[in-house]
Amino acid sequence: MPPIPPVPAYANDGASRILSGLLEARTGQILSEGRAWRMETALRPVLRKHGLHDSDELAARVVGKGDPRLEEDVVNALLNNESSFFRDLQVFDLIHRQILPRIQAEREDRTLRIWSAGCSTGQEAYSLAIRLRNEGARWAGWRIEILASDISTAAIEQARSGAFSQMDVQRGLAIGDLIKWFEPDGENWRASAELRGMIDFRHDNLFDARAPSGEYDLLLCRNVLLYFTPVRRQAVLRLLAAHSHAQSVLLLGAGETVIGHGDDFIAHSEFRGSYARQAAMPGSAIGRVRRQG
Ligand SMILES: C[S@@+](CC[C@H](N)C(=O)[O-])C[C@H]1O[C@@H](n2cnc3c(N)ncnc32)[C@H](O)[C@@H]1O
């Protein structure tokens, strides 16, 4: 008889259930099995910071008295903030070779609005900003707005600071872009003031009414839907649709789709792997658009 696999600790253990329950209640994210196994490791800095011995004590504190600081630290520690520069390079090629030229041809008011929803530590938004700046003259006279939002206060703080480790910049950033757009900062690197100034980083929950208003030409919500329930995926797509116009383009992560999650978006007829708002949606034509919360 094959050995009986051990029962996963996260499924069985009261403390883990409480802490993953907190994560889900605050963010909608369901802890993946892989991350649940690493929960203890992820929470170690939180235990140290708050002078607690183990996750049982931590869970008891979470249940016992409302401590918003502690809860925020737990949520930040359990969120999956995995990101890298130019993640899935072909997506950035699609954006710059096909999607942006189309927006540029159609947008009469010479304003480009991009929303990176679930931006983590900012690599996606910085990658877009780098490509736009490298295209220089092509965007002369354009107003470019990049909004990047995430629920993790720690991730947004890092994104806003523009500070990246040597390991971060080695993941996806070309050496030419590193030298051109980043400055050495001790053992790390920091995005230039010009690049940082292009992006509005905001702490925001996709399920919160504070989400921005206005419409975006290009929306990226990549590797965020994966750990939501189907109902929550549909709610996020609805939110993204409410911030889109008839020509907006939506990009999701490689393992994500709109199929089966409502009818707000359909596969884009031209840009393979991207999505367009369902034509039946009431709303604006390009050029009307705008603005902002
Ligand atoms: C795996 S990262 C993806 C980062 C980036 N989009 C990429 O593809 O490289 C997922 C991000 O979604 C954020 N997130 C999870 N739930 C969220 C919510 N309810 N509202 C806003 N952001 C959320 C997490 O904090 C995390 O930074």
Give the model confidence (pLDDT) of 146-202 as tens digits.
Answer: 999 999 999 999 999 999 999 999 999 999 999 999 999 999 999 999 999 999 999
Name every residue whose Cβ is closer than 8 Å to that of residue 162 and which is 6 or more positions away in sequence. 122, 126, 190, 191, 192, 195, 196
Band of the pLDDT at 65, cuts 50, 70, 90?
confident
Indicate which atom in ligand 1 lies nearest the CA of residue 152.
25
Q: What's the CA gap between 291 and 147, in Å, rounded?
A: 12
Are residues 156 and 37 part of one domain? Answer: no
More confident site: 90 or 14: 90
Q: Is 24 in the pocket of ligand 1 (CB under 6 A)?
A: no
Chosen domain end from 27, 47, 78 = 78
211 domain-assigned: yes
- Residues 41, 175: one domain? no
Map residue 155 onto helix, strand or coil.
helix
Question: Ligand 1: does its nearest atom lie under 6 Å from the Cβ of 124?
Answer: yes
Q: How far apart are CA 189 and CA 160, in angstroms?
A: 13
Instruction: Please name the helix (run of DSSP H) or strand (run of DSSP E) that holds residue 199, with its range, or none.
Output: strand 199-203
Please indicate, yes or no, whether residues 134 and 236 belong to a single structural domain of this protein. yes
Read off the pLDDT of each residue in 6-24 and give the average, rounded to a whole number: 74
What pLDDT is attached to residue 9? 47
pLDDT value at position 281? 53
Domain check: are 128 and 216 in the same one?
Answer: yes
* One domain for residues 185 and 69: no
Ligand 1 mean position to 225 CA, how many Å? 8
Q: Beta 216-221 vs 274-277: how paired, if at all?
A: unpaired
Q: What is the CATH number of the domain that holds 193?
A: 3.40.50.150
- Kindly report the protein residue whose alpha carbon is nearest to atom 12 of ligand 1: 118
CA distance 201 to 156: 6
Domain count of the chain? 2
Q: What CATH number does the domain containing 21 carry? A: 1.10.155
Q: Are residues 173 and 96 in the same domain?
A: yes
Indicate if the alpha-carbon torsion angle 293, 259, 76, 16 is positive or negative.
positive
Which residue owns the Cα nearest ligand 1 atom 10? 224
Site to substitute for ligand 1 among 151, 221, 243, most atoms within 8 A of C-beta? 151
pLDDT value at position 280? 53
283 belongs to a structural domain: no
pLDDT at 7 over 70: no
* Coil, strand or helix at 285: coil
Ligand 1 pocket check for 232: Cβ under 6 Å: no
Domain that holds residue 17: 9-78
* The pairing of beta strand 182-185 with beta strand 244-252: unpaired
